[in-house]
Amino acid sequence: VYTIGPGYAHAEARKSPVVDGVVMRNSDGKEVRYPVLLTPTEKQIARNVCQAFRQAVCGFDLLRCDLGEARSYVCDVNGWSFVKSSYKYYDDAACILRKMFLDEKAPHIYTIPAHLPWRISEPAQPSDAVRNREQGTVGIPTQSEELRCVIAVIRHGDRTPKQKVKLKITQEKLLKLMLKYNGGKAHAEAKLKSALQLQDLLDATRILVPRARSGRESDSDAEVEHAEKLRQVRAVLEEGGHFSGIYRKVQLKPSNWAHIPKSSGEGEEEVPSEALMILKYGGVLTHAGRKQAEELGRYFRNN
């Protein structure tokens, strides 16, 4: 669901990849979605999300459930986001955002004065256009104008599909890394985005991957799958040889905990024993996308 202020919401539906792990895509590699109508209750939910987060342009995920009674739940709020491909949505967005800006910066344009004169005491004066025509100065501007800015919602060019890898981790090295970047809190998640954080994760993964060798007869299917995902994480982090300019983000969410004696010997403390690692990557501008961006830049410059 995509809101533009509390009074407008555009909704699109998709098959949840949680069902079978498969993301349905079209021939262009884009996720298959189709517009849907929101129920009155869902429209109120969109209004509440928009107002609760104090964000006019706000995207969020709505999960529709039908367990005897049709209900909808907000499962994720993404914040600032726009619809991927809908001409009507962008036309609506332009009108609504324009009115928002004018209401904030030039409210007199849409405001009728509280008190209007019931009669005009002075004769009406001819407009500037009429006076210019009478004086023979048509086409000569009375004052110069300067373009100060262009406000536009411009979607990026073609990108590679975004991908996601999920795996459960129990290795002490990775759990310690999570505690390092979540402030040492047992129940807090850690988000790794900076080059330093991702390099730490890559170093840890390089150490763990040789230990997670697959192909041995004693390995179960789960162990083989886990080893393969670790190798995939390492390959994604090593891509490009650097961390700048390439979209990569890692979330570490604790899922199980254990109690161990405190280092002081007095009592116990709770520490994470298992966590969920989510690696998001992809979304890199393609050659076609770069060409689209350059053409748009030339259009703005020349027009």
pLDDT digits (tens, 9 = 90+) for 91-142: 999 999 999 998 888 888 777 666 666 665 655 566 565 565 556 555 555 6
Q: What is the pLDDT of residues 165-184, one digit of tens each?
A: 999 999 999 999 999 999 99
Query: What average pLDDT is seen over the chain?
Result: 84
Lowest mean pLDDT among 60-64, 68-72, 136-140, 167-171: 136-140
Lowest mean pLDDT among 29-43, 91-105, 207-221: 207-221
Q: Which CATH number fits domain 2-88: 1.10.287.610, 1.20.950.20, 3.30.470.20, 3.40.50.300?
A: 3.30.470.20
Q: What is the pLDDT of residue 24?
A: 76
**Is residue 238 a contact partner of residue 202, using CB atoms and an 8 Å limit?**
yes
Alpha carbon distance 33, 14 (integer Å): 5
Mean pLDDT of 222-238: 89
Mean pLDDT of 270-280: 94
Greater model confidence, 25 or 132: 25
Here the tokens at position 96 are 């609504």
> If pLDDT is split at 50, 70 and 90, which confidence band does 76 have?
very high
Dihedral sign from CA coordinates of 291, 292, 293, 299: positive
Q: What is the pLDDT of residues 264-274, one digit of tens each?
A: 778 888 999 99
> If pLDDT is split at 50, 70 and 90, which confidence band does 211 have?
low
Residue 123 one-letter amino acid: P
Instruction: Write out the H or E segment, with its range, that includes residue 200.
Output: helix 195-211
Q: Name the percent of the chain lying above pLDDT 90.
A: 49
Put the strands of the sheet holding 70-79 in their side by side order. Answer: 9-10, 2-4, 57-66, 70-79
Q: What is the pLDDT of residue 68?
A: 66
CATH 3.30.470.20 location in the chain: 2-88
Phi, psi of 141 (to 5 degrees): -65, 140
Q: What is the pLDDT of residue 27?
A: 76
Alpha carbon distance 226, 220 (integer Å): 10
23 CB neighbour count, 10 Å cutoff:
15
> Which residue, among 272, 259, 255, 271, has the nearest Cα to 168 in the 3D structure?
255
